[in-house]
A and B are shown apart, each in its own frame.
Chain A
Amino acid sequence: MSRPLSVVQGGRETATRAVSLAGVRIAFPGTGRADAPFVAVDGVDLDVADGEFVAIVGPTGCGKSTLLNATAGLLVPAAGSVSIFGAPLAGLNRQAGYLFQAEALFPWKTALDNVAIGLDVAGTPHEEARARAREWLSRVGLAAFADRYPHMLSGGQRKRVGLAQVLIRDPKILLMDEPFGPLDAQTRQIMGALLLDLWSHDRKAVMFVTHDLEEAIALADRVVIMGAGPASRIIGEWRVPIARPRDMDVRLDAAFHQLHREIWSALKDEVVKGYQQSESVG
């Protein structure tokens, strides 16, 4: 089942490709001397149109994050190519903003300085950077928390700061690696709604990695499913035919359930496979 199950050709398909992965293979050196390198993903083709929100779903250890890192330029693929707006990627992807799964705020900077740092390093005058950072903090609902240090904020608030930190630089591509993973279910939904709201203003291309199928369907235009690793591939993709703007009630929608059932039936086997593999390795 390495062939996409169904790809609905929409009008967007002809738009500019923000991200184009072709035949991407990512390998890590083996642990022992005689070990073959560990191949995380292999033969991945994925296009993300400008303004498209793509969610990548797969079982644990399938190399979803690896794919994002390759798109960000943090990892160099062993084979295949990564193109950003038609140009092959060399070095770091300067067009992309990356929201990490783990804590990535600067603990010694206040929320305000954390948000402003992207502008600071780009040479924006100090006061202007602060003014814009304040604006962004209020956009993510944290205007009152500008002077707090990360450890004084809740997990959800830290993610909001992280979101503002990434978006203030106005990247054309947004890479998100299970950004709301560590949060509780309600906070995740609220963060998803916030993300969609922010995204609807300027529709960046988004690659959103998650293990949560519901979250993927609720947020994305297109859901891409990856198989279990190692050497995992894309095993299918679905367009999400739910109109925007979506609110949190989208999960109650009949079309949502229909699609969820359909994707889950394909994903289920891979999840079991991935789980067994991770068990046998660990």
Chain B
Amino acid sequence: MMRNRMALVALQILVAVVLIGIWHFGSTIKLDWPAISPKPFYPLDPFFFSTPLAVFQRTFNDFYTGVIWYHLGITLLETMLAFVIGAAGGVLIGFWFARKALLAAVFDPYVKMANALPRVVLAPIFALWLGLGIWSKVALGVTLVFFIVFFNVYQGVKEVSPTLLANARMLGMNERQLMRNVFWPSALSWMFSSLHTAVGFALVGAVVGEYLGSAAGLGYRIHQAEGVFDVTGVFSGMLVLAIFVIIIDTVVSAIENRLMVWRPAPASAQG
């Protein structure tokens, strides 16, 4: 098992080494192939592709001088706000709709309509309404997170096992106790099952919002760099974003493992 794991990690690192190697040599070694071009050329022109070294250097510098922390902080704050507000709304409304069939039936077409709308088109509206500060980004993230959590919780509460419900009643639970002991844990478990997706979408909302109009955040940094054809800056921004996502995902997994001990582990994670 241990050896398998080591081998896997080794292979994963190998993939990175090969890709970065191709990028590095492609953007630093000139080829002289008259058949393709009369002048010597870079297979990956550094103007369009930058070089891995430059990207790492820029990223390191950003962290070293500390300019990136402020932008990371802004994006993190927007992501968290979007997630918390969207998830809270999704749980509450999902729960409410699941318990009131008429309400759910009345709002059904509107919910579907709102969910089908590509959220990016809302960004300018939010920017108009809420300005270019963090709240227009939070709003965009909320519209993404809300629906994921809402649908999960709605389904989860509606599909509570009738046997479990009958058992809870026979064990003497009144309506309030049913809420606390059956519906609520069920709703939460469904919310947590969509946690990874929801957090991911919160981040997407934040970054896209920043990209479309803002004065701070990772999306803003990438947009700025792009505006002046600073490809190194764009790649550096993407690298920081990727690291950020991995860290957030690890944290979410840790939270999930703590809260979901009662869940059977997925088959792939066993052994």
Chain A residues packing against B (C-beta within 8 Å): 72, 74, 92, 94, 96-98, 100-104, 106-110, 117-118, 121-122, 149-151, 165-166, 169
* Contact A96 B170, beta carbon cutoff 8 Å: yes
Cβ distance B165 to chain A, nearest Cβ, rounded Å: 9
Within 8 A of A (CB), among B51-103: none
Q: Which of B166, B169, B172, B262 contacts A108 (CB 8 A)?
A: B262
Q: Which of A92, A101, A110 contacts B169 (CB 8 A)?
A: A92
Cβ distance B258 to chain A, nearest Cβ, rounded Å: 13
CA distance in complex: A102, B171 (Å): 16
Q: Which of A94, A102, A108, A109 contacts B161 (CB 8 A)?
A: A102
Residue of A nearest to B189 (CB): A108
Provided the pairs A94-B172, A103-B161 are in contact, do residues A121 and B181 lie with their beta carbons within 8 angstroms? Answer: yes
Provided the pairs A117-B171, A121-B173 are in contact, do residues A106 and B164 lie with their beta carbons within 8 angstroms? Answer: yes
* Contact A107 B262, beta carbon cutoff 8 Å: yes
CA distance in complex: A161, B239 (Å): 51
Q: Which of A103, A107, A169 contacts B171 (CB 8 A)?
A: A169
Q: Which of B163, B177, B264 contacts A104 (CB 8 A)?
A: B163
CB neighbours (8 Å) of B181 from chain A are: 106, 117, 121
Q: Which of A94, A98, A109, A122 contacts B166 (CB 8 A)?
A: A98
Interface mask (B155-171 → A, CB under 8 Å = 1, otherwise 0): 00000010110111111
Provided the pairs A149-B261, A151-B263, A151-B264 are in contact, do residues A106 and B170 lie with their beta carbons within 8 angstroms? Answer: no
Query: Is B131 an interface residue when CB atoms closer than 8 A count as contact?
Result: no
Query: Is B182 an interface residue when CB atoms closer than 8 A count as contact?
Result: yes
Cβ distance A69 to chain B, nearest Cβ, rounded Å: 8
* Contact B163 A100, beta carbon cutoff 8 Å: yes
Cβ distance B146 to chain A, nearest Cβ, rounded Å: 24
CB neighbours (8 Å) of A102 from chain B are: 161, 163
Additional A-B contacts beyond A96-B170, A150-B262 (10; CB < 8 A):
A72-B166, A92-B170, A97-B170, A104-B167, A106-B181, A117-B171, A117-B181, A121-B172, A149-B261, A166-B170
CA distance in complex: A199, B85 (Å): 52
CA distance in complex: A101, B164 (Å): 11
Query: Is B40 an interface residue when CB atoms closer than 8 A count as contact?
Result: no
Query: Is B185 an interface residue when CB atoms closer than 8 A count as contact?
Result: yes
CB neighbours (8 Å) of A151 from chain B are: 262-264
8 smallest CB-CB distances across A and B, nearest first, come from A104-B167, A149-B262, A151-B264, A102-B163, A98-B170, A118-B171, A108-B262, A108-B185
List 14 contacting pairs A-B, 8 Å CB cutoff, sorted by A: A92-B170, A98-B167, A102-B161, A102-B163, A104-B164, A104-B166, A121-B177, A121-B181, A122-B172, A150-B262, A151-B263, A165-B171, A166-B170, A169-B171
Within 8 A of A (CB), among B244-271: 261-264
CB neighbours (8 Å) of A121 from chain B are: 171-174, 177, 181
CA distance in complex: A96, B164 (Å): 16
